[in-house]
Structure 1
Amino acid sequence: MFWSISFLLTLVVYSCAIILTNITVDDNDASISYTGRWDGVNAHPSSLNYGEYHTVTEDPQAKAVFTFTGIAVYYISSLWPYLVDSYVSLDGATPVYVNLTVPPGMPYDVAEIGSEVIMWKAIWGAQNLCNTVHTLTVTRGTTHGIVDAFRYTTVREENSPNTTSGSSSSATNHPGSPSASANEQPTTLQSKSSINIYAIVFSTVGALLLSALVFIVWKRNRHRIQATDRALDTTNNIASNSVVPYTYVVPASRKEIPLPGKTPTTRAYEDHKHLAVSVQVPSIPRIYILFHRR
């Protein structure tokens, strides 16, 4: 039982040390590799972009490959009032179509028509990945290919040094974008699986401790009852049948017996036998009763 409790407590300590961290990188980050023809990273400014800028391609052969290590990844972009789209592919899988057009019914500022009209956000994402190196590839959609930013989730131990990518922008804010200042800070999240482990482990440990307490109380009461039984067994020997009565008979000789209520001068003498009777009382001195006949 002791080893089981120790193992579970160790599991709790270990699971408490696991945290998740979201890191966001801009389109000019060194972890993104561009091939083909792309506009300059500072060619399309807007306060609705992450980090103020995004980059664009119209080249069907162009690619932007983002390399990261983590368990989740998100494709971030603004939205346009007309058709803008891209394709994303995770680890060489079949490309997924991503529509960057404002959904019907979503309000936006008509004064911004001709540019982005909706603030950047996570448009596409993949979770529950193996904690290893992954690649996310962006290619052109119908008319354009857009790269604004990427966000990925890392796993690290709480007491170990922070895990960072090769990016110099992964832990810095972009003061030009108000929303970026509020969202750029890496968010430390407690693992949902760790929370589930806490509930299981604490419940198990509590049940084991309760069982141990009940066992200890039962053991102590059992010893106490056994001690009481042994004490009773010892006192029962007082009335043991092995006690043999002893009877003394007065000899049939002439004896002088003072009678009750008589003075020493008045004595009665008897010439016959006296009867002696003994009474047996366990552990009490024997009492002899003499009967005198006149």
Structure 2
Amino acid sequence: MTSFPLPLRLLILALSFEIQAVLAVTTITNVTVDDQDPAILYSPEDWNTTEAYNSLDYGGYHHLSGQSSAFAIFNFTGVAIYFLSPLWPYAVGARLVLDGQIPPVFVDLQDHSQPVNSTGGAETVSSAVVWGFENLTLGNHSLQVEFAQGQSQYVVVDAFM
């Protein structure tokens, strides 16, 4: 068996640790943040939260507002962001603004497979990813969820990933 000289063995060992460090840094993990998490700022502060547990919501609950001034801000560090929400049998939606980019994106959260329920009601489709943005530069970002004036009756926050 051939033995490498000590300087070469040390170099190989150092490169091995360097490669392991790079691999450890590039590991990407999805983290889901529920609507109840204090990392989400709601304004005005009087958003409604569901009182009864519903298995169609991520974590059992969601935040809802019918106020035209309503918005929520979620600041995060990462390379992607996903917006999770159930669907409803009436006009629910959200305008999403990522890192202040204009124009915002409208996300329709109405379950169009159901007859429209003009009096509201509970979710009809389980919470899932309804919008996402990938390939962000690794760093700090902000997603603002706003009431979609003229496009929906309510804005909802259920979870972010």
In the superposition, the TM-score normalised over structure 2's length comes to 0.76
Q: Which amino acid aligns with 1:124?
A: W
Q: Which has the higher contact order (CA 8 A, sep 6+)?
A: 2
Q: Secondary structure in 2 aligned to 1:51? A: helix
Q: Structure 2 residue aligned with 1:97, among 96, 106, 109?
A: 106
> Could you tell me which residue of structure 2 aligns to residue 174 of structure 1?
none
Would the aligned equivalents of 1:76 and 1:121 in 2 still touch at CA under 8 Å?
yes
> Could you tell me which residue of structure 1 aligns to residue 41 of structure 2?
33
> Could you tell me which residue of structure 1 aligns to residue 145 of structure 2?
138
**Percent identity at matched positions?**
36
Would the aligned equivalents of 1:44 and 1:55 in 2 still touch at CA under 8 Å?
no
Would the aligned equivalents of 2:48 and 2:65 in 1 still touch at CA under 8 Å?
no
Which consecutive residues of structure 1, in runs of 5 or more, have no partner in the other structure?
108-112, 152-294
**In 1, Cα distance between the equivalents of 2:54 and 2:42?**
21
Q: 1:99 deviation in Å?
A: 0.7
**In 1, Cα distance between the equivalents of 2:22 and 2:87?**
39
Larger Rg: 1
Would the aligned equivalents of 1:80 and 1:116 in 2 still touch at CA under 8 Å?
yes
Q: Secondary structure in 2 aligned to 1:16? A: helix
> Could you tell me which residue of structure 2 aligns to residue 21 of structure 1?
29
Q: Structure 2 residue aligned with 1:119, among 117, 126, 143?
A: 126
Q: 1:68 deviation in Å?
A: 0.9
Would the aligned equivalents of 2:91 and 2:154 in 1 still touch at CA under 8 Å?
no
Q: 1:40 deviation in Å?
A: 3.3
Q: Which amino acid aligns with 2:157?
A: V
Which consecutive residues of structure 2, in runs of 5 or more, have no partner in the other structure?
1-7, 115-119
Q: 1:84 deviation in Å?
A: 1.4
Q: Secondary structure in 2 aligned to 1:21? A: coil
Would the aligned equivalents of 1:35 and 1:62 in 2 still touch at CA under 8 Å?
yes
> Could you tell me which residue of structure 1 aligns to residue 86 of structure 2?
78
> Could you tell me which residue of structure 1 aligns to residue 3 of structure 2?
none
> Could you tell me which residue of structure 2 aligns to residue 188 of structure 1?
none
**In 2, Cα distance between the equivalents of 1:54 and 1:13?**
41
Gap change, CA 1:62 and 1:126, over 3 Å in 2: same
Would the aligned equivalents of 1:37 and 1:59 in 2 still touch at CA under 8 Å?
no
After TM superposition, the runs of 4+ consecutive aligned structure 1 residues lying more than 6 A away are none
Q: 1:116 deviation in Å?
A: 0.5
Gap change, CA 1:84 and 1:42, over 3 Å in 2: closer
**In 2, Cα distance between the equivalents of 1:40 and 1:84?**
14
> Could you tell me which residue of structure 2 aligns to residue 149 of structure 1?
159
> Could you tell me which residue of structure 2 aligns to residue 286 of structure 1?
none
Q: Which amino acid aligns with 1:123?
A: V
Cα root mean square deviation, aligned:
2.4
Gap change, CA 1:39 and 1:47, over 3 Å in 2: same
Q: Which amino acid aligns with 2:94?
A: S
In the superposition, the TM-score normalised over structure 1's length comes to 0.44
Alignment of 1:209-248 (within 5 A): none
